Amino acid sequence: MWVLEQGSADHALAWLQALYLREHVDFDGAAALLKAAIRAPEPDYFTQLLDVQIFALARGELNHGQHAISFSYDALCVRAMRALQGRFHKPAAAWQVRGDVVHIQHVLRDLAGVAAEFSFVHEQPVVLEELVSPSADESPIQVPAATLEQGESGPAQDVDGAGFLSADLEQSNAVDIDEAVLAAIAVGAGLRDYQVDGVRHLAGQTEACLGDDMGLGKTRQTVVGARLAAGQGRVLIVCPASLRINWEREIHAVYPDAVVGFAWDDRISTIYGC
């Protein structure tokens, strides 16, 4: 997606037409869509995806009272860091700034549109060098491929790249959904039409897999679907440790009063789930 600072619809359309000059891109109806978007802006559409994280730096002679800020690249967040007189630490892919958390969040809100609920504040101080990012070629998640079962009708063959996703659909049973409740939740959670279909898919059966493409809001659909299915019960989410804060942020974006606990975390030792 392209992100532009809000201006006139005509200016944005002219920019896009120049960008895709001589390419087969259909702009019919684009002007009306742009004007409608400007009339009804969604201020958190991108900012909730920026993964803004704030780390207190361990006390030391050189970094007393400073914080490290990391986020997916965004020009307005960079503007906020410069306003805070921050210094970019390339190995850690984070900005080093001076000031308290409240002031940092205010600057992020005023200059980058990042509301406080979309910035995760880490509780434990860190050493800046500990934030050094792994190589972009390294995947933080390693999933071994499942062994493909061979049929009985032919000889076994070696299969390269035998990773696949399998599901025993015979074990899945349909679950009744109160459409009125789903509609009310969809409005409160700000779900789009296709996301409502995804929540219905997840909560409408005892076992389900959601395979939407990246960036379509699978986490939010799962949060809403899990809560709808669990009622007042607890929900257990199993995910890589590096994604825990992403889940917590998304849960609180939909259910601000939810109690979220992390397994093996001292912050909440007895309550887990959302």
DSSP letters for 237-273? ----GGGHHHHHHHHHHH-TT---B-TT-TTSSS--B
Q: Rounded mean pLDDT of the chain?
A: 79
Read off the pLDDT band of 61 (50, 70, 90): very low
pTM reported for the whole predicted model: 0.49
Tokens linked to 10: 């005509």
Within 10 Å of residue 184's Cβ, how many Cβ atoms? Answer: 11
Read off the pLDDT band of 111 (50, 70, 90): very high
Q: Are 258 and 251 in contact (CB under 8 A)?
A: yes
Query: Tokens 């019919």 — which residue?
Result: 28
Mean of the pLDDT values across residues 34-38? 88
DSSP state of 117: G
Does 81 score more than 90 pLDDT?
yes
The Cα–Cα gap between 4 and 76 comes to: 10
The Cα–Cα gap between 153 and 156 comes to: 9
Angle, CA of 261, 265 and 266, to the nearest 5°: 100
pLDDT at 144: 52
Q: Are 230 and 199 in contact (CB under 8 A)?
A: no
- Domains of the chain by residue range: 9-39, 47-131, 169-233
Mean of the pLDDT values across residues 208-215? 83
The Cα–Cα gap between 80 and 30 comes to: 31
Q: Which of 87, 100, 73 minimizes the C-alpha distance to 128?
A: 87
Q: Are 208 and 218 in contact (CB under 8 A)?
A: no
For residue 118, give every residue at least 6 positions away whose Cβ sits within 8 Å of its Cβ, in sequence order, or none: 44, 47, 48, 50, 52, 249, 253
Q: Are 196 and 243 in contact (CB under 8 A)?
A: no
Q: Which of 186, 204, 203 minimizes the C-alpha distance to 195?
A: 186
Does 104 score more than 90 pLDDT?
yes
What CATH number labels 47-131? 3.30.780
DSSP state of 98: E
Q: Report the percent of the chain where pLDDT is more than 70.
A: 79
Tokens linked to 127: 């050493």
Q: Which of 211, 133, 106 minimizes the C-alpha distance to 167?
A: 211
Lowest-pLDDT range of 48-62, 135-149, 187-201: 135-149
> Looking only at Cα atoms, what is the longest distance across the chain?
72
